[in-house]
Amino acid sequence: MGPPGAGKGTQASRVAHELGVPHVSTGEMFRDHAAAGTELGRKVQAIMAAGEYVPDELTVAMLEERLAEPDAEQGFILDGFPRTEGQVAALDTLIGEDGLDGVVVFEVDEDELVQRLLTRGRVDDTEDTIRYRFRVFRDQTAPLLAIYGRRGLLVSIDGIGDIDEVTERILSAIEAYDLRPGAIIEESEIPQ
């Protein structure tokens, strides 16, 4: 989790590759739908271009379908989901309240983020939209950190720096927290 432009997509893709689990990005899935001109794509195109959140109902249905695919059985890296309290609740229902191993939070300076987004050149990266997406993140998504904080799942990462460096930080944090998918638990470690 982190504000727009924090590097979630890039890093999620690299970490997923490293761990051998699928990278599940709801934003990417929506962009694919929009590009392919599916019914869902037509519904979400204007919403995305405006920097708004797609309604939970559509987002959750799409995610549920994705997580049911066989490649997600051993784990997955979620990128850009959950973004609302409703999505947290839906995810709890889908994978259980203890279903997530950890939540990586990107700490990044806002000025640097604006610069990054302006050079990314995506269609939803106009200056107005960027500002609006920040506000939406602050209002709707930042509060979710408290929920995962209470569950002891937050892992904070310094998101500024070389792409490789940031990937290393995340992988080290995952190792330190033993968040590897299917990590083997020694018998002596099983709580009695």
Q: Does 3 bind ligand AMP (CB under 6 A)?
A: no
Amino acid at 127: E
With residue 105 as reference, give the H or E element that holds it. strand 103-107
Integer Cα distance of 192 and 95 in angstroms = 24
Q: Does 51 bind ligand AMP (CB under 6 A)?
A: yes
Q: Would you say 138 or 175 has its CB closer to ligand AMP?
A: 138
Other beta carbons within 10 angstroms of residue 115's beta carbon come to 12
Report the first-to-last Cα separation within the chain, whole angstroms: 34
* Min CB(83)–ligand AMP separation in Å: 4
Structure tokens at 88: 């947290």
Binding test (CB under 6 A) with ligand AMP, winner from 4, 7, 22, 159: 4
Q: Does 78 bind ligand AMP (CB under 6 A)?
A: no
Cis, bond preceding 70 (omega within 30 deg of 0): no
Q: Does 148 bind ligand AMP (CB under 6 A)?
A: no
Binding test (CB under 6 A) with ligand AMP, winner from 83, 108, 117, 174: 83
Q: Would you say 47 or 180 has its CB closer to ligand AMP?
A: 47
* Min CB(130)–ligand AMP separation in Å: 10
Integer Cα distance of 4 and 136 in angstroms = 10
Q: Does 145 bind ligand AMP (CB under 6 A)?
A: no
Mapped onto helix, strand or coil, the DSSP state of residue 155 is strand
Give the residues lining the site for ligand AMP (CB under 6 A): 4, 9, 26-27, 30, 47-48, 51-54, 59, 80-81, 83, 87, 133
